Amino acid sequence: MTFVALILKNIVRQRTRTFLTVLGISLGITTVVALGVVTESLKASSGEILKLGGADFMVAQEGAADLSFSIVPQDDIAAIQATEGVANTEGILFHIARVGSNPFFFLGGREHAGILANPPPIREGGIWDKGATDQVMLGVNAVKNLDAGVGDTVTIEDRQLKVVGIYQTGMLYEDAGAYAPLPTVQEIAGKTGVVTAVFVHLEPGADPETVGKAIEDRVPGVASIINVGDYGKVDQGIQMLDAANLAISVLAVGIGAIGVMNTMIMSVFERTREIGILRAVGWSGRRILRMIISESLVLCVIAAGVGSALGVLATRAILLIDTVKNLLEPQYTLDIFVRALVVAVAVALAGAAYPAFRAVRLTPMEALRYE
C-alpha cells in the first residue's frame, strides 16, 4: 500500500460527503472558468478590433466607459495623421443597433477611401459607390441572419440600405454586422462629425509605442491602444469584468474553503481515534499533516477537473444563444484552467489548515481517548 493509496481510501470511504464537497467546490470553479472564458473571449475580440483594416494600432477617447461610447472628433484625425511615423489613418464609427433578431448588430461607418484602400475580404459583390449614402456591405453571418443577398434591401434602424457586397473577415462581430458609408452611420447613430476610433497605419520601421505616445501628446483626450493590455484606457468594461472575475475567484476560494474545512473537520473529528492510533504506531505529526492536506488537495483537484469541465459546458451552452453566438468566439486559454487549479489549491490549503493543525496538536493519548 502506498501513501497515495491510503489517501484515496480515506476519501472513497465517505462517498456521499466527498461527492457533495466536490460538487460544491466544482460550482465555484465552474463560475471562475465560465467567467474567465467570457473575459478572455471579450479580450480576444477587443484585440481583433485593434487591428481592424490591417491597422497597426487604434486611437480612441481616453477614459471611455466602453469603446462604443468613445468619441473622437473628425478634426483630430488630421492631427493624428500629421504625427511623425504615421503613414495613414482611418476614422471608423461603431454603432450597435438591433437588427433582425440580433440586438448587438455591429454597424461600422467607414470613409469610401478607407474601405477602398483596406477592404474586408469580399465574398460577393463589392464596396459601395463613392458618394453613395444608401448602400451597405453585409458580413456572411448577417446575410444568413437577415436572409438577404447582394441587390436586396435591408432595414437598419428605419434606414433602407441596399446590399452591394458580402464580406467575411473571420471576426464574429464583424461577420454578424455590416459596413456602411461613414456619413450614413453618423446619421443613424446621431453622431455627426465624430468617429469612435482612428486606426493608424505606420510607416515602415516606425515604433508603435513611440508613435502612440507622440499622438497622445499631440492630441489631448485620446489614448493609443497598442495592445489588448492597453484596452482599459478606453473600455472600462473589460477592466470591470476582470475585477468581477477576481472577486468571484476570491469568493469561490472563501466559500469553497468553508466547504472543504467543514468536510475535513468532520473527517478529522470522526477519525480522531484513528489519528491517535497512527501517532501511537509512530506516525509523525508531519506525516499526519501531509495526509490531511493531501486528502484536501485530492478533493479540490478533482473539483477543479469537474468544475473546469462544467465551465466549458456552461460556455458552450451560453453560445447556443444567438445573440451571444454573434458576439463571442470562446477562448479556452491555458490561463483560465491554471487559475481554476490555483483557486482549487488555495481552497484545499485554506480548508485543511485548521483540521490539520488540530490533529497534530493532540497527543496520541488524547486522540485515543476521544470517543
Partner 1 sequence: MSEQAPQTGRAAAIRIRGLVKTFDEGLIRALNGVDMEVLQGEFAAIVGPSGCGKSTLLHLIAALDRPDEGTIEVLGHELRTERNLDHYRARDVGLVFQLDNLIMTLSAAENVQVPMFESHRGAGERRARAEELLEMVGLTGRDKNRPAQLSGGERQRVAIARALANDPPILLADEPTGRLDSVSGKRVLELIEELRVKRGLTVVLVTHESNVAERADRVIRMLDGRVVEGGTGAGAEAEAAAGQEKP
Q: Does the footprint of partner 1 cover residue 17 (CB under 8 A)?
A: no
- C-alpha cell read off for 225: 491602444
Closest to partner 1 by CB, 332 or 370: 370
Distance in Å from the first CA to the final CA of the chain? 28
- Site for partner 1, residues 244 to 283, rule: CB under 8 A: 273-274, 277-283
Per-residue b or e along 277-295, where b marks 16 or more CB atoms closer than 10 Å to that residue's CB: ebbeeeeeeeebbbbbbbb
User: How far, in Å, CA of 353 to CA of 195, rounded?
Assistant: 56
Closest to partner 1 by CB, 119 or 285: 285
Contacts of 273 (CB under 8 A, 6+ apart): 367, 368, 370, 371
Interface size with partner 1, residues (CB under 8 A): 23
Q: Quick one: which of 17, 218, 287, 325 contacts partner 1 (CB under 8 A)? A: 287
Closest to partner 1 by CB, 230 or 274: 274
Q: Measured from the CB of residue 13, what is the shortest distance to partner 1 in angstroms?
A: 5
Segment lying near partner 1 (by CB under 8 A), choices 8-16, 147-155, 200-208, 315-323: 8-16
Q: Quick one: which of 153, 192, 227, 284 contacts partner 1 (CB under 8 A)? A: 284
- Site for partner 1, residues 306 to 335, rule: CB under 8 A: none
β-pairing, 102-110 with 178-181? Answer: parallel
User: Position 343: which residue type?
Assistant: V
Q: Does the footprint of partner 1 cover residue 10 (CB under 8 A)?
A: yes
Closest to partner 1 by CB, 72 or 288: 288
* DSSP H helices in the chain: 3-12, 15-50, 75-81, 112-117, 140-146, 172-175, 182-189, 208-218, 236-270, 272-280, 285-318, 322-325, 334-361, 364-369
Tell me which H or E stretch contains 150.
none
Segment lying near partner 1 (by CB under 8 A), choices 4-12, 156-164, 206-214, 225-233: 4-12
Q: Does the footprint of partner 1 cover residue 2 (CB under 8 A)?
A: yes
Q: Measured from the CB of residue 285, what is the shortest distance to partner 1 in angstroms?
A: 7
Closest to partner 1 by CB, 155 or 269: 269
- Positions touching partner 1 (CB under 8 A) are 1-3, 6, 9-10, 13, 273-274, 277-285, 287, 363-365, 368
